[in-house]
Amino acid sequence: MGEDLSGAMTSLTLRVGDLAGEWDRTGLIPPELLRDLGAEGRLCAEVPEQYGGWGLSSLHSGAYTAHAGGLCSSLRSVMTSQGMAAWTIQRLGTAEQSAGLLPRLTGGALAAVGFSEPGAGSDLAAMTTTVRRDGDTVVVDGHKKWVTAAHYADLLVVVGRHEDGAVAVVVPTGTPGVRVERITDPLGCRAAGHADVHLDGVRLPADSVLGGHGLPTALLVTTALAYGRMSVAWGCVGILRACLSAATAHATVREQFGRPLAEHQLVAGHIADLYTAEQVATRVCEYAGRCWDEGSPDQVVATVLAKQVSATQAARGAATAVQVLASAGSRDGHTVARAYRDAKLMEIIEGSSELCRLMLAQHALSAPGAP
């Protein structure tokens, strides 16, 4: 595939066409389309070529993710889940597990990642899902909530308690004891296939545990979430680009008081704010992407910063875009109406804005005066 992305982006644009609004209204992306996109390696583009992926750098993958996010946040959410599952397998799994599982994820199988539980949202240390060894099997019991893409998934990467720490275990959704219960009325990303997952005595081969042993919960969670944060941050850049494009197009054409909206300074101010938001989010994401590609020690904090800035800017920017379009953008399925609902959720997932701010404060306080 290399890293010439313009052809890949154009072809994704053609595949989505003008269907994102309809997917949002019906709450469903056709599963066969997702499988086709997955089999073309499009849903987890950073997976190395040896496993059938595109082997993109973090920066190039980010550019592609932003493009997807501008087209359809539900599709981008499915990409984020697939990419996070692949990343977790790559980082925590053995070479044999990577060789067995990653070609499935680049071959059309769909995956989702479950951390959250009824009593463990921001505080993942409170997880109660257990992964218990029993001879040459493991038994998984628990309840995961709000798992993006679980409705479509063939495989779930489930995080649970194991001995003194935590493990990630790969659970085929067809295994006896797995029940996937669709969330039918999410505020946004309505076609992303969110679901609650019930795991009752789910027995799996012991080699379903990634890496075969437990890790400290915080380390495991941070490792898996890092990819998700980066992906969501770039998705927010896409939301901002779509909003900027819709707002400038509308403000140029729509006339009130005898001239285009864009010639009214308060409306032009909204356009300037949107442009600023898009540029700021893009720059922090680019910085974080470079940190990933260079293996910089700043990678973790740069990723949290990118997620925090991009999500905040996207939520504010989408509201601004709705204001510029007013009634023209106030219907379900319209680009800016979708963006408004989708962007709000970006402030909640992969570490809420409050949790990101706490992490950034902790970083700043640990190195006072440092840039």
Ligand X SMILES: Cc1cc2nc3c(=O)[nH]c(=O)nc-3n(C[C@H](O)[C@H](O)[C@H](O)COP(=O)(O)OP(=O)(O)OC[C@H]3O[C@@H](n4cnc5c(N)ncnc54)[C@H](O)[C@@H]3O)c2cc1C
Residue 4: CB partners within 8 Å, gap ≥ 6? none
* Count of beta carbons in the 10 Å neighbourhood of residue 256: 11
The answer to whether residue 348 forms part of the interface with ligand X (CB under 6 A) is: yes
Determine the interface stretch with ligand X among 114-122, 267-275, 293-301, 318-326 (rule: CB under 6 A): 114-122
DSSP letters spanning 285-338: HHHHHHHHHHT-TTHHHHHHHHHHHHHHHHHHHHHHHHHHHGGGG-STTSHHHH
Per-residue contact string for residues 252-291; x = within reach of ligand X by CB under 6 A: ----------------------------------------
Task: Please give the Cα distance from 349 to 232 (Å, whole number).
Answer: 8
Residues 158-187 that bind ligand X (CB under 6 A): 186
Judged by CB under 6 A, the number of residues near ligand X is 21
Among 48, 103, 121, 172, binds ligand X (CB under 6 A): 121
* Count of beta carbons in the 10 Å neighbourhood of residue 57: 15
Among 9, 33, 268, 355, binds ligand X (CB under 6 A): 355
| CB of 288 closer than 8 Å to CB of 303 | yes
Determine the interface stretch with ligand X among 239-247, 288-296, 311-319, 353-361 (rule: CB under 6 A): 353-361
Among 153, 233, 345, 359, binds ligand X (CB under 6 A): 345
Among 72, 147, 291, 325, binds ligand X (CB under 6 A): 147
Task: Please give the Cα distance from 203 to 176 (Å, whole number).
Answer: 8
The answer to whether residue 115 forms part of the interface with ligand X (CB under 6 A) is: yes
Task: Please give the Cα distance from 147 to 149 (Å, whole number).
Answer: 6
Residues 74-103 that bind ligand X (CB under 6 A): 81
Task: Tell me which residue has its CB nearest to ligand X.
Answer: 121
Among 189, 306, 309, 336, binds ligand X (CB under 6 A): 189
Beta-strand relationship, 111-114 and 155-162: parallel
The answer to whether residue 337 forms part of the interface with ligand X (CB under 6 A) is: no
Task: Please give the Cα distance from 154 to 162 (Å, whole number).
Answer: 23
The answer to whether residue 122 forms part of the interface with ligand X (CB under 6 A) is: yes
Residues 212-231 that bind ligand X (CB under 6 A): none
Residue 369 CB, nearest approach to ligand X (Å): 25
Task: Please give the Cα distance from 67 to 37 (Å, whole number).
Answer: 15
Whichever of 5 and 149 has its CB closer to ligand X, that residue is 149
The answer to whether residue 349 forms part of the interface with ligand X (CB under 6 A) is: yes
The answer to whether residue 194 forms part of the interface with ligand X (CB under 6 A) is: yes
Whichever of 223 and 245 has its CB closer to ligand X, that residue is 223
Instruction: Using alpha carbons, select from 98, 105, 223, 102 the residue that is nearest to residue 159.
Output: 223
Task: Please give the Cα distance from 223 to 231 (Å, whole number).
Answer: 14
Q: What distance lies between CA 11 and its chain's CA centroid? A: 21
Residue 112 CB, nearest approach to ligand X (Å): 6
Task: Please give the Cα distance from 155 to 103 (Å, whole number).
Answer: 13
The answer to whether residue 51 forms part of the interface with ligand X (CB under 6 A) is: no
The answer to whether residue 352 forms part of the interface with ligand X (CB under 6 A) is: yes
- Total residues belonging to the chain: 371
Interface residues toward ligand X, by CB under 6 A? 81, 113-116, 121-122, 144, 146-148, 186, 189, 194, 345, 348-349, 352, 354-355, 358
